[in-house]
Amino acid sequence: MSYLPFRTGSVKRIVGRLSVVSAGVGVLIFGLTGESSETRAQGYYGYGYYQPFYGYYQPRRRYTRPRYRRNRVRRSRPKRTPIPAPKWAANDGSKDPVQIVVSLPDQKLTVYQGDKALTTSRVSSGKPGYSTPSGVFSILQKNRHHRSNIYSGAPMPFMQRLTWSGIALHASNSVPRHPASHGCVRLPHAFAGQLFRFTEMGAHVVIANEKEVKPFEITHENLLQPRTPAPKDFDQIEEERVARANGVKVKEKKRSTEPVRILITRRTGKEQIKDVQRLLNELSFGAGDVDGYMGPDTAKSIRRFQKTYGLPADGLISDHLIEKIYEVAAAGKPMNGHLYVRQNFNPVFDMPVFIKGGDTPLGSHLFTAQHFYPTADHARWLAVTLKKGSPTNRYARYSRRKKKKVVDDVVLTANAPIAATAVEALDRVEIPKRARARLEKMLTPGSSLAITNDGISKETTPKGTDFVVLMQ
């Protein structure tokens, strides 16, 4: 075993002194080259250096040049220039509701205020395979800068939505005098901006299959007339006074000024099943929940009723069965129509009504109340009658079906009964007194009544729309 000629402690002292000398030489060099203490603190050197305070060797730190970042300039939206008032707007102080009529054969749009035509414009409706549906619509949404969420964000400036499925009025750079769109109604830019400013939410838009559709004045006893709410009686006034004396806040129900939308149409099978279920439950036949669905409980209760009153026990609903149930329940005559009421795009109430004339078509008619003052007891009504047409299906391009014919041709060949006129349709509708009184208290300028034979369309959503009457 060999021994070192000196102790390890002396080696440590020698190494420490050499490191101190090297550190001093480094400080001298950096001082001569102009390096500052801040630079030394950052560690920006070509080689490592000794930290006397910490007593260990500090390796070189990697220097990264700071990345240049350009100051972001926040882009401000272009200022919206105010749309000038249209020159064709009525200057006679008329407050009658605005109604837009689009003629598909003529590719023309007409703006009416009351029964006065203010202006016209060319349009371009849906091309074959994407035909624009005809019927009665309302403006559901307005957006000045809109982009399509169906066709790759295509610009649709001055958009006025008619259905939530994608039909709207909007401006376009291409407005030929023939169908060329994907279902919407294209308008020239200048006119679209003027129309956008002139219309309001909820205004009616009529898309017709005829060349000329004009509103005409009509008077009829079944048309609603404004009625002021009944004054409060003494007991109600005294009750409110006592409540205020006890510190209870009494909320006054404000009468809405939004137009009322009324639809009268044929009853659907679901509504008839609800009536059957309700009456069978009143007669203690146990039809189950009144939900409008033909379940096993409803079928069993119908069989029990049929066996009880000597009818064929097939468990099916027919007109004869409904008449028999109404007769046994002493509920009067079966209702074959239904009345729906909406206001501000929300349902208010609905109830069954009776339509005279059996299965004779009612046609499709729109009645609009003109402007009247709150203290008035009479309102002027205008009517529009639409002929039922059947344009090419929107997706007929992808099917092998033949193009549909216009219903008028089918009626002539089949010798089917002709639809009723506007006056005949009003004659055939029986509105209950309690419903009429409630509607007359709600009546406001611009309210409308639609009568159709086709029921509620698929475009009429549970909330967020008025009644959409389709004529396809």
Q: What are the tokens at 52?
A: 């006397």
Q: How confident is the model at residue 172 (pLDDT cuts 50, 70, 90)?
A: very high
Q: Which residues contact 316 (CB under 8 A, 6 or more apart)?
A: 302
> Which pLDDT value is given to residue 77?
64
Backbone φ and ψ of 354, nearest 5°: -110, 135
Query: Looking at the domain assignment, is residue 171 inside a domain?
Result: yes
Backbone φ and ψ of 13, nearest 5°: -65, -40
> Could you tell me which of 172, 171, 166, 161 has the C-alpha nearest to residue 194?
171
Query: Looking at the domain assignment, is residue 340 inside a domain?
Result: no
> Which pLDDT value is given to residue 112?
95
Q: Are residues 197 and 113 in the same domain?
A: yes
Give the alpha-carbon dihedral of 222, 225, 229, 231, to 10 degrees.
Answer: -100
Rounded-to-integer distance, Cα 429 and Cα 433, Å = 12
Rounded-to-integer distance, Cα 8 and Cα 12, Å = 6
| pLDDT at residue 179 greater than cutoff 60 | yes
Rounded-to-integer distance, Cα 361 and Cα 278, Å = 28
Lowest mean pLDDT across 87-91, 138-142, 238-242, 326-330 = 238-242
> Which pLDDT value is given to residue 411?
37
Written as one string, the DSSP assignment of 91-136 is -S---PPEEEEEETTTTEEEEEETTEEEEEEE-B-BPTTSPPPPEE
> Which pLDDT value is given to residue 314?
86
Q: Are residues 105 and 202 in the same domain?
A: yes
Q: Read off the pLDDT of residues 196-236 as tens digits, 9 standing for 90 and up.
A: 999 999 999 999 988 888 999 999 999 999 987 655 555 66
Domain count, the chain: 3
Query: Looking at the domain assignment, is residue 260 inside a domain?
Result: no
Q: How confident is the model at residue 191 (pLDDT cuts 50, 70, 90)?
A: very high
Q: What are the tokens at 167?
A: 């039909």
Q: Are residues 198 and 124 in the same domain?
A: yes
Q: Are residues 105 and 168 in the same domain?
A: yes
Query: Looking at the domain assignment, is residue 68 inside a domain?
Result: no
Helical ranges in 246-368 per DSSP H:
269-282, 296-308, 319-329
Going by their DSSP bridges, the two strands 381-386 and 216-218 should be labelled as antiparallel
Q: Are residues 51 and 118 in the same domain?
A: no
Q: Which carries the bigger pLDDT value, residue 118 or residue 153? A: 118
> Could you tell me which of 365, 376, 471, 371 has the C-alpha nearest to residue 116?
371
Average of per-residue pLDDT across 36-61: 48
Query: Looking at the domain assignment, is residue 281 inside a domain?
Result: yes
Can you state the angle between helices 296-308 and 319-329, rounded to 10 degrees?
Answer: 70
Query: Looking at the domain assignment, is residue 46 inside a domain?
Result: yes
> In the listed set 163, 188, 212, which residue is the last one of a domain according to the structure?
212
Query: Looking at the domain assignment, is residue 114 inside a domain?
Result: yes
**Mean pLDDT score of the chain, rounded to an integer?**
79
Backbone φ and ψ of 24, nearest 5°: -65, -40
Percent of the chain topping pLDDT 90: 36
> In the listed set 289, 314, 331, which residue is the last one of a domain according to the structure?
331
Q: Are residues 121 and 19 in the same domain?
A: no
- Its domain, for residue 30, covers 8-58
Backbone φ and ψ of 281, nearest 5°: -70, -40
Query: Looking at the domain assignment, is residue 220 inside a domain?
Result: no
> Which pLDDT value is given to residue 154?
85
Q: Read off the pLDDT of residues 366-418 as tens digits, 9 standing for 90 and up.
A: 999 999 998 888 999 999 998 876 444 333 333 344 444 443 333 333 344 55
Give the N- to C-terminal CA distance of the chain in Å, as an integer.
113
Q: Read off the pLDDT of residues 415-429 as tens digits, 9 standing for 90 and up.
A: 445 567 899 999 999
CATH number of residue 168's parent domain: 2.40.440.10
Q: Are residues 48 and 132 in the same domain?
A: no
